[in-house]
């Protein structure tokens, strides 16, 4: 079956880089997403990567995909206190789950001043 795994917690100092890791099991995954959830709020799409890419950069965010190892990471450069939130990795595939998202349990990022 489909499964997405993430470490639950990450703590960094303001100004450092944060790297949040994710592994998935479905080799037919088409798109992989990163969502951010602030306390008491819904999920905000941060970025996504198509499975035929190995890197995508968007301002302070860099997504790396190792398709062979089914490993996805999100790097946040110059982490700010406003980046403190829960980050969810999610995958979908075109056919198997009808495009529905399979989420990991989320990584809680704490940024210390």
Partner 1 sequence: DAMVIQNPRYQVTQFGKPVTLSCSQTLNHNVMYWYQQKSSQAPKLLFHYYDKDFNNEADTPDNFQSRRPNTSFCFLDIRSPGLGDAAMYLCATSRDRAAVNQPQHFGDGTRLSIL
For partner 1, the binding residues (CB under 8 A) are: 4, 8, 30-31, 33, 35, 40-45, 48, 50, 88, 92-94, 98-101, 103-106
CB of 98 to partner 1, least distance (A): 6
Cβ proximity to partner 1: between 95 and 113 the closer is 95
CA geometry: angle 95, 98, 104, nearest 5 deg: 100
Cβ proximity to partner 1: between 18 and 36 the closer is 36
Cβ proximity to partner 1: between 12 and 43 the closer is 43
Question: What HEC string does the chain produce?
Answer: CCCEEECCEEEEECCCCEEEEEEECCCCCCEEEEEEECCCCCEEEEEEEECCCCEEEECCEEEEEECCCCEEEEEECCCCHHHCEEEEEEEECCCCCCCCCEECCCEEEEEEC
Cβ proximity to partner 1: between 41 and 113 the closer is 41
CB of 78 to partner 1, least distance (A): 25
CB of 57 to partner 1, least distance (A): 18
């Amino acid at each position: 079956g489909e499964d997405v795994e993430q470490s639950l917690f990450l703590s960094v100092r303001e100004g450092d880089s944060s790297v949040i890791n994710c592994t998935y099991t479905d080799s037919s995954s088409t798109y992989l997403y990163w969502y951010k959830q602030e306390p008491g709020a819904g999920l905000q799409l941060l970025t996504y990567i198509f499975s035929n890419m190995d890197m995508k950069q968007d301002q302070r965010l860099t997504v790396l995909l190792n398709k062979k190892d089914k490993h996805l990471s999100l790097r946040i450069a110059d982490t700010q206190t406003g980046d403190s939130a829960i980050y969810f990795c999610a995958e979908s595939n075109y056919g198997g789950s009808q495009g529905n998202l399979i989420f990991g349990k989320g990584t809680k990022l704490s940024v210390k001043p």
